[in-house]
Amino acid sequence: MLKLVRTQDGRKLAVESRGHPLGRPVFLLHGTPGSRHGPAPRSTVLYRMGVRLITFDRPGYGDSDRRPGRRVAHAAEDVAAIADALGIGEFAVVGRSGGAPHALSCAARLPGRTAKAVALVPLAPRDADGLDWFDGMTEDNVRAYTIAAGGPEAVAAAFEPRAEEIRADPRATVTAMHGMVPEPDREVLTDAAIRALLVRNFAEGLRCSADGWVDDVLALSSPWQFRPEDIRTPVLLWHGEQDVFAPAQHTRWLAERIPGAHLEVPPDAAHFGALAVFTRALRWAACT
């Protein structure tokens, strides 16, 4: 059921909970672009796991108000506001792709409340020391993050037409992805249920505008405003070796800096392989 949560600065965030209402609370932070309807295990699976899964549209996506100038670290403030509104003290966080750095912000900025954090196929900070950030990345993503240097107007000019195309035919966008990804991802995308989830996810996230997508790209291209080295929460990092959207060396860089992080990089998986490990990741996050 949709719930609108108000933040201290008056913005509204669109939030949904599913699974076991009295289960272990786990926040799932969607990818870029995306929405609260992003891929996740079915409610019946979550109920059997004893997980209360909480999803929300990041600012500018779906039914959530925009937060101009937001940075990755600001996600921790929104998660805390939602947890407060739902009467939740301690929780775990799981983030996929563009949502993964935002999940790590909770581990860094909310150490007393974030019990565990999972980052699936994350990007490293754009200013990551010693990392060739674009190496191995698909040309489309290189172009997107290079445009960010031109500021909000340049990113908006590039992404609004793309958002309009997705709004017009989200199924065509998902179908086109099949020819752009390595073989492990093509195998994942042959699943009709996963394609349907992705279609719904993109359609909802970009239903009103490209604002969330624009602000995600700007945030992921800017300093995170926290240091991975300062994270003390238990962290699981997972990345498919063949990922071309967020190359696996980004996660290796994070693993070298987050104290005690557990790293998994299977050689036969890519970006969408994260969808196949969602249930296991949630089980790890929910385990006390």
How do 12-19 and 2-6 pair as beta strands?
A: antiparallel
pLDDT over 90 at 99, yes or no? yes
Which has the closest alpha carbon to 203: 159, 161, 160, 164?
A: 164
Q: Is 91 helix (H, G, I), strand (E, B) or coil?
A: strand
Span 199-226, pLDDT tens digits: 999 999 999 999 999 999 999 999 999 9
CA distances from 245 to 79, 80, 98 (A): 26, 29, 10
pLDDT value of residue 22: 97
* CA 50 to chain centroid: 22
Average pLDDT in the chain = 96
Q: Whole domain around residue 210: which residue ranges?
A: 2-286
Q: What is the pLDDT of residues 100-113, one digit of tens each?
A: 999 999 999 999 99
Give the pLDDT band of residue 52 (cuts 50, 70, 90): very high
Q: Give percent of the chain above pLDDT 70.
A: 100
Percent of the chain with pLDDT over 90: 97
What pLDDT shows up at residue 180? 85
**Is the pLDDT assigned to residue 288 strictly greater than 80?**
no
| Average pLDDT of span 252-274 | 98
**pLDDT confidence bin for 179, thresholds 50/70/90:** confident
pLDDT at 190: 93
Other Cβ atoms less than 10 A from the Cβ of 80: the count is 19
Torsion angle in degrees (nearest 10) through CA of 86, 90, 96, 98: 80
CATH classification of the domain holding 201:
3.40.50.1820
pLDDT at 178 over 90: no
Other residues' Cβ atoms within 10 Å of the Cβ of residue 187: 16
Mean pLDDT score, 42-59: 97
Angle between helices 74-85 and 99-109 (to 10 degrees): 70
Specify the number of domains making up the chain.
1
